[in-house]
Each structure stands twice: as structure tokens, then as C-alpha cells.
């Protein structure tokens, strides 16, 4: 399925572990209801992963910074539900 990209920006996500991530060059696609983070992009900037038994662990410099579980065919990061994902910066495309 194709969907129009309305902008590119940076968002802040606070993980359940207390760490935060600010994915930059994130595509803003209003018609998409779930956020996707390609593992290849995280790997390029120094993250590593461990996936086993339906669990996902995210590491930076050998320190656990995030985790999640397999749900409906995708690994979902545990986020801090007390923190609302916030927009730090966005460039709207025409």
C-alpha cells in the first residue's frame, strides 16, 4: 500500500527503561497508524539487538536501553506510557 509522506522530522520516544530516543529523518505519514523503526537504521548508528523466545532487547554500547515483545507478527518496543511522544522538529513537504 502506498501513502503520501507529508513531512520529515525528529520525534522523541521515551522507552520503558527510562532512556529516550530521538529518531531523526522520520517520515510523517498521517494515514499510517503505527510507527515503524527499521533495525538497519538503528544498527548504522551503533545499536545492537538480541531477539529470542518472542522477546526483543535493544542495546547501545552493550547497555540495555529498551525491550519489547513479539505481538501480531511485529516486535513492539515497550514505551513509557506516562510520556506522550513529542514532535521536536518537522519539515513539511509539498
Q: Which domain holds residue 43?
A: 7-92
Query: Is residue 50 assigned to a domain?
Result: yes
- Does residue 56 belong to any structural domain of this protein? yes
pLDDT for 24 equals 75
Global confidence as pTM: 0.68
Q: Is residue 1 part of a domain?
A: no
Look at residue 42 and tell me if it is in a domain.
yes
- 3-state SS of 23-79 is CCCEEECCCCCCCCCCHHHHHHCCEEEEEECCEEEEEECCEEEEEEEEECCEEEECE
Residue 83 DSSP symbol: S
Q: Is residue 66 part of a domain?
A: yes
Does residue 37 form part of some domain?
yes
- Residues 35-58: tens digit of each pLDDT: 777 788 788 888 899 999 999 999
Q: Which residue has the higher pLDDT, 56 or 87?
A: 56
Residue 2 in any domain: the answer is no
Q: Let me know if residue 86 belongs to a domain.
A: yes
Q: What is the count of structural domains for the chain?
A: 1
Amino acid at each position: 500500500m502506498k501513502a503520501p509522506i507529508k513531512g520529515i522530522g525528529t520525534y522523541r520516544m521515551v522507552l520503558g527503561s527510562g532512556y529516550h530516543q530521538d529518531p531523526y529523518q522520520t517520515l510523517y505519514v498521517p494515514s499510517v497508524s503505527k510507527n515503524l523503526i527499521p533495525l538497519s537504521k538503528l544498527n548504522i548508528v551503533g545499536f545492537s539487538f538480541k531477539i529470542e523466545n518472542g522477546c526483543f532487547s535493544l542495546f547501545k554500547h552493550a547497555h540495555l536501553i529498551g525491550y519489547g515483545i513479539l505481538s501480531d507478527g511485529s516486535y513492539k518496543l515497550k514505551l513509557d506510557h506516562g510520556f506522550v511522544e513529542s514532535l521536536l522538529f518537522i519539515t513539511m513537504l509539498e
